Structure 1
Amino acid sequence: MARMTRGANVALTREIPGLTSLVVGVAWDAGSERVLSDNLVLALLLCGPDSRVLSERHMVFFNQLTSPDESVAARDEALDGDQEQIEVDLRGVPEDVARLVAVVYVNEGTTQRRTLGQLRAVSVVVRDATTHRELVRSEDLAPVLQAETALVLGEVYRHGGDWKFKVVGEGYRNGISGIAADYGLPL
């Protein structure tokens, strides 16, 4: 598959019959901004049909490594050039989860203010978890970022009996708290 622009989507399981697990990753280039690079976090939000996170336990990231049912898990070590990755067993995702929203944010615990506008490049990547083959890569989402401190990268979602992926690329100037408010995530 090719690079995808904001708003584009692809029917993953329809185009790749037998696809049962994915790796959602984020690749970024922070240049010499080491503090920024060290404080970026990838998270996956497990949402119901109303696009709201099911509970506070349905956010997978460095501080909560798996979903309650263990179908979604943060990887200890990112492969293939990604900085962070989260693995998804599509067969194990509970029926009440309609979409998995991938976000990246600047950890608000940093003492020096950093923004995603300082990134030279950032993209979301979806791979087959079994073969590590890249299935989808978004366009570079960095050029339009300025003072944002969080970004919805994309989402894996159910459509009929299939799983699709959509590039979102929506930035938030109020960080993870803005995403939390929009997706009903209690912080």
Structure 2
Amino acid sequence: MRRGTNVALTKEIPGLTRVVVAVRLATSEEVLARSLVVAAILCDEGGRALGDDHFVFFNQLADAGRSVVRLDVRSAAPGPEEQVEVDLDRVPEDVRRVVFVAYVNGGTAQRRTLSQLREATVRVLQQEDDAELVRSENLVPGFGPETGVVLCELYRHRGDWKFRVVGQGYDDGMVGMAADHGITL
């Protein structure tokens, strides 16, 4: 799937209730690899987090209702993926979208950007059997000085869940994404 495209997941696959969003960020730079973070933000209709407890990342592995849970890094061909499981039926009704982001965590001696990645792709898997439902294009060719990116989102549309590839970069990384989504850092 290309940036900006979407697919109607639950309309196309009736009975789909649990998915895994798998993010692959591949780089040959060890320092960059260690500082990459994948997170999920549970947002209202306006794209704002319902609260800081609706931000799922390495220090908060699930939202309060455990509808969105960060899994251990899994090995997948041709390399590791960060994975987040979403129980679509348990996502609170006031959550209209689950936004998936990646960013370079601060503290590196040199300026690191997402353009240094070789690959940035997202896959949506059926939780029961890991069957791949959709895969994004490699988003890296669109990156420049960005240190953060909104990768994709799962969102409600007329009673169904849809998936959209976003690929919107942020030069100011998590600080900019937090401001846009109402998260306190």
Give the TM-score band, short-chain normalised: over 0.9
1:83 alignment partner, SS class: strand
Unpaired runs of at least 5, structure 2 = none
Shift of 1:79: 4.6
**In structure 1, what is the Cα distance between the partners aligned to 2:89 and 2:74?**
22
Shift of 1:112: 3.1
What is the one-letter code of the residue matched to 1:40? L
Shift of 1:113: 2.2
Mean alpha-carbon deviation: is it higher for 129-138 or for 70-79?
Answer: 70-79
What is the one-letter code of the residue matched to 1:7? G
2:109 maps to which of 108, 111, 115: 111
1:114 alignment partner, SS class: coil
Partner of 1:78: 74
What is the number of residues matched between the two proteins? Answer: 183
2:74 alignment partner, SS class: coil
Shift of 1:124: 1.3
1:20 maps to which of 8, 17, 21: 17
What is the one-letter code of the residue matched to 2:128? T
Partner of 1:150: 148
1:109 alignment partner, SS class: coil
**In structure 2, what is the Cα distance between the partners aligned to 1:54 and 1:23?**
22
Unpaired runs of at least 5, structure 1 = none
- What is the aligned-residue RMSD (CA, Å)? 1.1
Deviations 1:31-56 (A, max 9, x none): 2x111111111100000111101001
Shift of 1:141: 0.4
Task: Note if 1:171 corresponds to 2:169.
Answer: yes
**In structure 1, what is the Cα distance between the partners aligned to 2:107 and 2:154?**
28
2:184 maps to which of 169, 183, 186: 186
Partner of 2:63: 67
**In structure 1, what is the Cα distance between the partners aligned to 2:108 and 2:133?**
34
Identity %: 54
Shift of 1:176: 0.2
TM-score, length-normalised on structure 2?
0.95
